[in-house]
Amino acid sequence: MANDLRIDVFDPAAPCEPELYESRANVLKRAFAAGGAIVAGGVLVAGLPRSAASAPSPAQDAEILNLVLLLEHMEADFFAEASVRAKLTGELLEFAEIVRGQERAHVAFLRDALGRKARKRPSFDFGEATQNPTAFSAAAVALQDLMVTAYNGQAANLTKGALEAAAKIVSVEARHAGWIRAITEKNPAPEPTDSPRTAAQVTAAVNKTRFLKSD
């Protein structure tokens, strides 16, 4: 809900770094372009070799679903806020309103599936990305592409039950991706495949946006 979020465009105590004065939408775009950056206190989070310990399991499902749940929370809040604050009209407004509802449904589904293991609800600060149609569009394109590659990156790690559900969701996220790109006159499907992103890459991309205030 929009009134849950504190909207601070700049942190006045931050040092003068050019990045902080860029719109968050641009930051988000650059983050996704960079892809596989490293996070978490400078520690290299490498992909783990697949072993018996990392074969599909309910425990691993919970980790994965919580990761995508964070992304779904981010999307649900982003579209909710943008649909009222970003001065959207016409196709963009219609897109934001429909997607808002569908992302909420994804959040509800994942929270229900995870039960008590569901992560605490995160809070976000989208800055300029929810303030005007241009910044909104750029951020929406990047977010949807991130969603698709995040799910694709975890498909082989899920148990069959979780995979079946995840497939139904990623399909809709891919539709959203094609849709917003079509609206903004970009190529809806520029590549013949949507290459997966690892959890580390997804996390890095999320962190580079600086949308996440607390998880």
Partner 1 sequence: MPIEPISDLTLDQLDRDGAIREALDGVSSRAGFLGKAFVGSAALLGTLAAPRRAGAASPSDNAILNFALTLEYLQAAFYTETQRLGAIGAELARVPRQLGGVERAHVAALQDVLGRAAVKRPRFDFKGTTEDQVEFLRTAVAFEDLGAAAYKGQATRVDSPALLAAAVAIHSVEARHAAWMRYLAGFTPAGRAFDEGKPEFEVRRIVASTRFIVARPRTTRRRRPRFTG
Partner 2 sequence: MIVASGAVGDSGSPQAPGALEAPALPPSPDPALTVPTPTPIRRGATSTWAPVRRTVLARARPEPDADAVARLETRTPEGTSNIVIVFGRRRDAAGRLWVQVRLPVLPNDRTAWVPRRALGGYEVVRTRLVVDLGALTATLLRDRRPVFRADIGVGQAAWPTPTGEFYIRNRLTNYDSAFYGPLAFGTSARSAVLTDWPDGGFVGIHGTNQPGLLPGRVSHGCIRMRNEDILELGRLMPIGTPVTVR
Q: Which residues bind partner 1 (CB under 8 A)?
A: 50, 98-99, 101-102, 105-106, 109, 148, 151-152, 155-156, 160, 163-164, 167-179, 181-183, 187-189, 191-196
Of 83, 102, 137, 157, the one binding partner 2 (CB under 8 A) is 157
Q: 133 or 196, CB closer to partner 1?
A: 196
Q: Segment 35-94, which members bind partner 2 (CB under 8 A)?
A: 37, 39-42, 45, 47-50, 54, 60, 63-64, 66-67, 70
Cβ(84)–Cβ(2) under 8 Å? yes
Are the C-beta atoms of residues 150 and 67 closer than 8 Å to each other? yes
Binding status of residue 153 toward partner 2 by CB under 8 A: yes
Of residues 2, 7, 59, 156, which one binds partner 2 by CB under 8 A?
156
Residue with smaller CB distance to partner 2, 21 or 101: 21
- β-sheet bridge partners, residue 214: 123
Q: Check residue 150 for interaction with partner 2 (CB under 8 A).
A: no
Contact partners, residue 125, CB within 8 Å, separation at least 6? 5, 6, 7, 8, 210, 211, 213
Is residue 133 close enough to count as binding partner 2 by CB under 8 A?
no
Q: Does 137 bind partner 2 (CB under 8 A)?
A: no
Long-range Cβ pairs for the range 3-6 (8 Å, 24+): 4/123, 5/77, 5/81, 5/123, 5/124, 5/125, 5/126, 6/123, 6/125, 6/213
- Using CA atoms, how far apart are residues 182 and 72, in angstroms rounded to an integer? 22
Pairing assessment for the beta strands 123-124 and 212-214 based on DSSP bridges: antiparallel
Q: Which partner from the list partner 2, partner 1, none does 169 bind, CB cut-off 5 to 8 Å by kind?
A: partner 1
* Partner in contact with 86, chosen from partner 1, partner 2, none, beta carbon below 5 to 8 Å by kind: none
Scan for tokens 């013949």, then name that residue.
192
Q: CB 161 → partner 1: shortest distance, Å? A: 8
